[in-house]
Structure 1
Amino acid sequence: NYVPALIAVEQDYTGDAKKNALAIAKAIGATRAGVIETTFTEETETDLFGEQADLCGGCTELILASYQTLVDAGYQPEIAYFETLHELKLITDLIQAGGIEHMWKNVSNTAEYGGRTRGKKIITEQTRENMKQMLEDVKSGKFAEEWIAEKDAKMPNLRRMREEGAGMQIEKVGAELRKMFVRK
């Protein structure tokens, strides 16, 4: 499997920048998977937004909320972990392999119907408005200013969040289950 790459040229004094970027991409094998041309601004803004909105922020918050909903309703933490976090890899692998419709074709009809009819109850119009504000915070530099201030202050909020995260029940349950799942 090869990994695709993005290339961008911001300034090209010699006229060879794009050619050189493609040569580097080819040298590392990226052209076998595909190379997409972008700009540094587009890559930076979409990368930060994606990390915050779904890849890191949104996904983890959704997992934590669904896990806690099941635990609060009296389900075993281990079962809640398995159903809300562990099985996520199967879904993301299906989506990455063939797209969202590919995933729908490869889960049960019950899962597909439930997902298609209930997902919009989670991702509401307010969620979409919050995403637009997150993107605006990235584009305007507000997020960068916040992050720089956090780093300059020696990351007190990030360290606190890391400590809180490490102490969560889902992390303890996950560690125990991963020990059980290891092939011997």
Structure 2
Amino acid sequence: MSKVLGKVYTENDADLKYVKDKNIAVLGYGSQGRAWVLNLLDSGLNVKLGLEREGNSWKKAQEDGVKPMKTEDALKGADIVIFLVPDMVQRKIYAEKVKPVLKPGMDLVFAHGFNIHYKLIQPPENVDVYMAAPKAPGPSVREFFVKGGGVPVLVGVNQDYSGQALQKALAIAKGLGATKAGVLETTFKEETETDLMGEQLDLVGGLTAMLRATFHTIVDLGYRPEMAYFEAINEMKLITDQIYEKGLSGMLRAVSDTAKYGGLTVGTYVINDDVKKRMKEKAERIKSGKFADEWIEEYDEGSKNLASLMDDLDNSLEEQVGRELREIVLRGQPKK
């Protein structure tokens, strides 16, 4: 029993029998969709893959030995519908394809709580709504499973019409291989809001901004861009690998004493109380739903602002330098 964590579900806490005889329609064959389909099939479950069109995902599925079909065909006779298409596409597919065929006792399953939490999808009360959210990208979900393991998964129940929603969520997690690692219980609200906070404040937003700011600080002081890129951006992978394997203190013990002292004394000067105050403001914006409203409006208007931001990054000095330096770095890596 953990002294810090809540209940951690493992192999003996989950049973595939809760979904074994169900017809499962998985919608989407992207990063997560491919992993889910292949893992659930390998776990002996009845899975149909539904896609909107015969594009790259359709071809990839066929190459993997999976028979794709149009969304409406995969939904015929389905007991469980798993949404693994992009967040902003889910509401349209639900309204046009899933809602018309929903019957009492069916299950709607999500890998992220965004559409349910922000009420973009509002299911009837006579269906189960639950979540299994892998805490790793799709390729890792598949890779770990193939090697006999699994990545941790968060499960949560939004509606428990059958009285067995949690057991079915755990069964899906087991089918993904997650119970070999550990499954933790959460809510749609907690998973959605913390996921967005992590992405924006740290993993995607904060980290990208910090890397770019460090790069330009070094360049502005007169150092060559390639030196700045190596020190400010390229070496981040080495640090995050250490954190992933050993935690923050383990990473610090793996670097030099000079790096430790400099990092621990300067880090809190750069990321100070003012930065944390602004982080909290943006976190509160997620909790209030304002970010979701903004993103929905941006998406509905064609994501023009997002496209402009990506263009600016693609054309930046750090990306121009990085594209050339990455060729050197990758050229020196041992062949797999």
CA distance in 1, matches of 2:257, 2:207: 23
CA distance in 1, matches of 2:330, 2:241: 20
AA aligned opposite 2:244: Q
Aligned pairs for 1:46-65 within 5 A: 46-65=194-213
CA distance in 2, matches of 1:34, 1:115: 33
CA distance in 1, matches of 2:326, 2:272: 33
Q: Bigger shift: 153-162 or 102-111? A: 153-162
1:149 aligns with 2:315: no
Q: Bigger shift: 10-19 or 62-71? A: 10-19
Aligned pairs for 1:116-135 within 5 A: 116-135=264-283
Aligned pairs for 1:12-27 within 5 A: 12-27=160-175
Alpha-carbon offset, residue 96 of structure 1: 1.3
| Percent pairwise identity | 51
RMSD: 1.1
1:180 aligns with 2:328: yes
Alpha-carbon offset, residue 69 of structure 1: 0.5
1:112 aligns with 2:260: yes
Q: What is the SS of the residue equivalent to 1:43?
A: helix
List structure 1 runs of 4+ shifted beyond 4 angstroms: none
AA aligned opposite 1:6: L
AA aligned opposite 2:230: F
Alpha-carbon offset, residue 130 of structure 1: 0.7
Q: 1:139 aligns with which of 271, 281, 287?
A: 287
Alpha-carbon offset, residue 183 of structure 1: 3.1
Q: Bigger shift: 90-99 or 62-71? A: 90-99
In the other structure, the counterpart of 1:68 is 216
In the other structure, the counterpart of 2:249 is 101
Q: What is the SS of the residue equivalent to 1:9?
A: strand
Aligned pairs for 1:8-47 within 5 A: 8-47=156-195
CA distance in 1, matches of 2:216, 2:182: 40
In the other structure, the counterpart of 1:164 is 312
- Tell me the alpha carbon deviations over residues 55-84 of structure 1, each in whole angstroms, 9 at most, x when there is no partner: 000000000000000111111111110111
Aligned residues: 184
CA distance in 2, matches of 1:183, 1:177: 10
- Using CA pairs below 8 Å that are at least 6 residues apart, which structure has the higher relative contact order? 1
CA distance in 2, matches of 1:181, 1:132: 37
CA distance in 1, matches of 2:176, 2:296: 32
Q: What is the SS of the residue equivalent to 1:10?
A: strand
Alpha-carbon offset, residue 107 of structure 1: 0.6
- Tell me the alpha carbon deviations over residues 109-139 of structure 1, each in whole angstroms, 9 at most, x when there is no partner: 0000001000011111111111111111001
Alpha-carbon offset, residue 182 of structure 1: 2.4
Alpha-carbon offset, residue 175 of structure 1: 0.5
Alpha-carbon offset, residue 47 of structure 1: 0.4
CA distance in 2, matches of 1:143, 1:81: 32
- Tell me the alpha carbon deviations over residues 138-168 of structure 1, each in whole angstroms, 9 at most, x when there is no partner: 0111101111111122112111111111100
Q: Which has the larger helix fraction?
A: 1
1:83 aligns with 2:241: no
CA distance in 2, matches of 1:24, 1:131: 35
CA distance in 2, matches of 1:174, 1:33: 36
Q: What is the SS of the residue equivalent to 1:75?
A: coil
CA distance in 2, matches of 1:139, 1:92: 28
CA distance in 2, matches of 1:33, 1:74: 48
CA distance in 2, matches of 1:179, 1:94: 23
Give unmatched runs, 5+ long, in structure 2. 1-143, 145-149
